[in-house]
Amino acid sequence: MIMDLDAAATGSPFAPYGTPVRSRLLLGTAQYPSPQVLSDAIRTADVSIVTVSLRREAARAKGGERFWDMIRGLGVHVLPNTAGCRTPKEAVTTAQMARELFGTDWIKLEVIANDDTLQPDLFGLVEAAGTLARDGFKVFPYTTEDLGAAERLLAAGCEVLMPWGAPIGTGRGLANPYALRTMRAYFPGVPLVVDAGMGAPSHAAQAMEMGYDAVLLNTAVAKAGDPIRMAAAFARAVEAGRLAYAAGLMEARDMASPSTPVAGTPFFDLDLKA
């Protein structure tokens, strides 16, 4: 079990929409070798929130019911998503169906613009977010690092933002760390979750060291040689990154700086003729 670092060590708890959760690692539930492996990975990493695709589970019929029973048995928060939606209308309809099926007003909102990059359609995302927020949903929008879009999503009623690290499933890590740092600095009081593109635990640690509140990933764990161990590795990386951020990282320097001061160090003038 991953150790539970107290709030005094890691700063304020992660509490999306006022709901405190113990883990800052969010996991997707697709592509695992088996339901048992998925369940073991969630338990081992002590994950609090998992994302679920309505389309995938609905297509499984009775298999989807068994999957849902397993998720409920884990005692985690379910974050349904609108994966695969291409229009605001399609995303809103999917979110409404998810609320009925999973009994939650949380929704991870995805409106995809491009099939090759799975980049969010920022215009459609803002439109759908506003519609869902007015309907009582607590929206977790999958977005980019665009500050203008972020401001519009917040104005539409979102209280959490989920900028991508890199395109979904690429494993490339944080493709634009400068933009992510800027976003964190620009919205200091908004819960921010880096979503998608991470392939190694070090990528998650990097995001947390920047001050992000959590990370969400799927493929890097589900497709690992050993998903259970990889889930544990990501959980430890998230905790390490958060603890480092709370401790205060040293600033990078252009020149070397000795760790041992030379002032006052004794020097001996040896008489080599003796």
Catalytic residues: 108
Q: What backbone phi and psi angles, to 5 degrees, belong to 51?
A: -100, 145
**Contact call for residues 175 and 155 (beta carbons, < 8 A):** no
User: How many other CB atoms are found less than 10 A from the CB of residue 117?
Assistant: 13
Structure tokens at 74: 């884990």
- Residue 87 is given by DSSP the state S
Q: Which two tokens mark 3? A: 């150790």
Q: DSSP label at 5?
A: -
Measured CA to CA in angstroms, residue 148 lies from 16, 122, 152, 179, 225 at distances of 22, 10, 6, 13, 40
Q: Rounded to an integer, what distance in angstroms lies between the CA atom of residue 138 and that of residue 35?
A: 28
Residues 6 or more apart whose CB falls under 8 angstroms from that of 108 comprise: 51, 79, 80, 81, 82, 140, 141, 142, 162
Three-point CA angle 32, 125, 151, nearest 5°:
115
Residue 99: count other Cβ atoms within 10 Å of its Cβ. Answer: 19
Structure tokens at 131: 């519609």
In 138-166, which positions are buried (b, 16+ CB within 10 angstroms) versus exposed (e)?
bbbbbbbbeeebbebbbebbbebbbbbbb
